[in-house]
Structure formats: structure tokens, C-alpha cells
């Protein structure tokens, strides 16, 4: 049965990043939307934008296209906008899927959920940026996000990343209550994902437990949309 997917990217990425996964999903007969969020399109002015603007954008995107039975997927930081949007879109959703994503808790921003070295990196880079944005040093991206790709691919993807508004990392959204949302939720985890180090700050079991679900495994790293798109598409369908 054909599904309608709305795929929400993580930090630094635009909708372009989903293309390899979207091609696999569309080849299986599904409809796929891959919007680029405000503040992370090439050339966007990030000043004056807030996380609430991103949530509003996701809601408006779905409503303005009159989409129904939507599988709403969020990757990494994308867990924040989909969490904010899900209660407002509940009547239009088929399910909500977090892929190697943050599952927000009450009063906690992404900045609160990452290890201290990331906090120091983000704060320092944002302060030096002139517009309160964060960029990832290549070495951090290579080793933590996309170690399963050849160096040429690592460099190409890194060159395509867009500075991310720091306020998107420090602002919060209300968490969802899966029991009252009225929409199934799932968590997909890429087994080689070390963007958050295993242990206290790891993706699992911390975030699936917040949803009360067992994680579904997918192959690849944090950037599996490039390195394992077929396997990731399969896991999203299984979720």
C-alpha cells in the first residue's frame, strides 16, 4: 500500500539530503516530500528565526498541500520540529518516525542533550560566526557522522552543509505523549551511528525509551541517507 512521507532533515542539511532515500521510496510506489526548512536553505538569513518558525513551517507545509495519512520522519535535530508539529497535525498523520533523532523532553533543548564537548564547540563557533550560527569542522563530521563513506564523499557532503542557527539548538518544544497523541510512533537507529557517543549521551536506549518503544535497526552511520539509502528506506517502511 502506497504511503505519503514527509521527511524532515537534521541540522545543516536541506531537503536535497533525502534524495537517495526518496528515490528508493518512490521506486516502491510511495509519495515523498523533502522540504528544506527555514534558516537552512543556501543563502538564508538565519537572524530573527526561531525553532517555533520551523514547527510552523512543517505544519503549514502539510496543511497547505492537504496531505493525509502522512508518515512524518525526523532525523537528528529534526526530532524537534516533528515533535512540535505532530500534535497539531495528528488528524493528518499515519505515524511519526524518529530516525537517529532527538526525542525532546520537557524544558530540554538539543544543547542540553549533547555531551559537553559539543556544547563547547557549538557555543564557540556560534559566538565567532557573526550571525549566531554553527558549522561543523570537517574532522568532527568525518569521524562522528559519516565515517562509513569514502573521503571524497565525506568532503563533498561536508561542503554542501549549511550553517545552522544556534537558537534552533537552544530553544525547546513541548514533548509529545505517545499515549495521548493518537498516532503510532517509532524509533529507527542506524547501528554505526556514533554522532552521539554510546553510553550516557547515546541515541539508544535513551530516546526510544522516552517514546516507550523498541528501536528498529538500520544500517549505516548518522549520514546513512548517503551511505545506506536502500537499507534506511527499508527500515523507515518497517517502522
**Neighbouring residues of 203: CB distance < 8 A, sequence distance ≥ 6:** 100, 101, 189, 193, 196, 215
What tens digit of pLDDT does each residue of 19-45 get? 999 999 999 999 999 999 999 999 999
pTM of the model: 0.97
Number of domains in the chain: 1
The arithmetic mean of pLDDT across residues 158-183, rounded, is 97
CA gap 185, 191 in Å, rounded: 19
What tens digit of pLDDT does each residue of 56-90 get? 999 999 999 999 999 999 999 999 999 999 999 99
**Neighbouring residues of 53: CB distance < 8 A, sequence distance ≥ 6:** 38, 39
What tens digit of pLDDT does each residue of 116-137 get? 999 999 999 999 999 999 999 9
The CATH number of whichever domain residue 8 belongs to comes to: 3.40.50.1820
Tell me which residue range forms the domain holding 217. Answer: 4-238
Cell of 134: 554553527
CA gap 67, 74 in Å, rounded: 17
Amino acid at each position: 500500500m502506497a504511503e505519503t512521507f514527509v521527511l524532515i532533515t537534521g541540522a545543516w542539511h536541506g531537503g536535497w539530503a533525502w534524495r537517495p532515500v526518496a528515490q528508493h521510496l518512490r521506486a516502491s510506489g510511495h509519495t515523498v516530500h523533502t522540504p528544506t526548512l527555514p534558516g537552512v536553505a543556501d543563502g538564508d538569513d538565519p537572524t530573527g528565526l526561531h525553532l517555533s518558525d520551523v514547527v510552523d513551517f512543517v505544519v503549514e507545509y502539510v496543511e497547505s498541500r492537504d496531505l493525509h495519512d502522512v508518515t512524518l520522519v525526523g532525523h537528528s535535530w529534526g526530532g524537534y520540529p516533528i515533535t512540535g508539529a505532530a500534535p497539531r497535525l495528528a488528524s493528518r498523520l499515519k505515524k511519526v518516525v524518529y530516525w537517529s533523532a532527538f526525542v525532546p523532553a520537557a524544558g530540554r533543548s538539543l544543547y542540553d542533550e549533547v555531551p559537553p564537548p559539543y556544547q563547547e564547540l557549538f557555543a564557540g563557533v556560534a559566538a565567532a560566526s557573526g550571525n549566531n550560527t554553527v558549522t561543523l569542522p570537517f574532522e568532527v563530521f568525518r569521524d562522528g557522522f559519516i565515517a562509513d563513506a569514502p573521503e571524497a564523499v565525506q568532503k563533498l557532503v561536508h561542503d554542501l552543509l549549511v550553517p545552522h542557527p544556534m537558537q534552533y539548538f537552544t530553544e525547546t518544544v513541548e514533548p509529545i505523549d505517545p499515549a495521548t497523541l493518537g498516532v503510532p510512533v517509532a524509533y529507527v537507529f542506524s547501528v554505526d551511528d556514533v554522532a552521539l557517543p554510546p553510553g550516557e549521551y547515546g541515541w539508544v536506549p535513551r530516546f526510544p525509551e522516552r517514546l516507550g518503544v523498541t528501536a528498529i535497526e538500520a544500517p549505516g552511520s548518522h549520514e546513512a541517507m548517503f551511505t545506506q539509502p536502500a537499507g534506511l528506506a527499508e527500515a523507515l517502511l518497517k517502522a
